[in-house]
Amino acid sequence: MISNIQCPTVRIGKRSFIVFPYWISLLIIGILFGLVGAFTVLRDGLHVTGLSNAIPWGLWISVDLSAIAMGGSAFVFGVIVYILRIKRFEVIGKLAVLLGFLGYSTAGMVLLFDLGQPLRFWHPIVFWQPHSLLWEVTMCVVLYLSVLMAEVLPIVLEHSVFHSHPWLARFPILGSFIKFMHKLSHWLHSASPILAVAGLTLSLLHQASLGATYSVLAGRGIWFNQSAPVQFVFSAMSGGIALLFLSSVFVFRVMRPGQVSDGALLDIARLSGGITLLLTYLRIWDWAVTNYYSFNREIALQTEVLDTISPYSLTFWLGQALLPIIAGSVMMAAKKVNFRILMAVSIFPIIAAILTRWNYNFAGLIASISYDPFTPGVILNSYTPTWVEFSVATLVLSYWLLMFSLAARYLPFQSMKEHH
Query: What is the SS3 assignment for 238-250?
Result: HHHHHHHHHHHHH
Lowest mean pLDDT among 148-157, 215-224, 265-274: 215-224
User: Rounded distance, CA 152 to CA 94, Å?
Assistant: 8
pTM for the whole thing?
A: 0.91
pLDDT for the residue numbered 322: 94
- Phi/psi of residue 368, nearest 5 degrees: -115, 155
User: Rounded distance, CA 376 to CA 369, Å?
Assistant: 7
Q: Is 383 helix (H, G, I), strand (E, B) or coil?
A: coil
Q: How far is CA 166 from CA 157, 175, 185, in A?
A: 16, 10, 21
User: Rounded distance, CA 209 to CA 279, Å?
Assistant: 17
The greatest distance separating any two alpha carbons of the chain, rounded to the nearest whole angstrom, comes to: 79
Domain span including residue 154: 2-410
1, pLDDT greater than 50: no
Q: Is 324 contained in some domain?
A: yes
Angle between helix axes 228-249 and 59-70 (nearest 10 degrees) is: 70
Q: Is 239 contained in some domain?
A: yes
Q: Is 246 contained in some domain?
A: yes
Q: Is 416 contained in some domain?
A: no
Q: Which pLDDT band, with edges at 50, 70 and 90, does 350 fall under? A: very high
260, pLDDT greater than 70: yes
Q: Is 418 contained in some domain?
A: no
CATH number of residue 176's parent domain: 1.20.1630.10
The one-letter amino acid code at 263 reads G
Q: Is 420 contained in some domain?
A: no
Q: Is 187 contained in some domain?
A: yes
364, pLDDT greater than 80: no
Query: Number of folded domains in the chain?
Result: 1
Partners of 10 in the beta sheet? 17
Q: Is 415 contained in some domain?
A: no
Across the chain, mean pLDDT equals 85
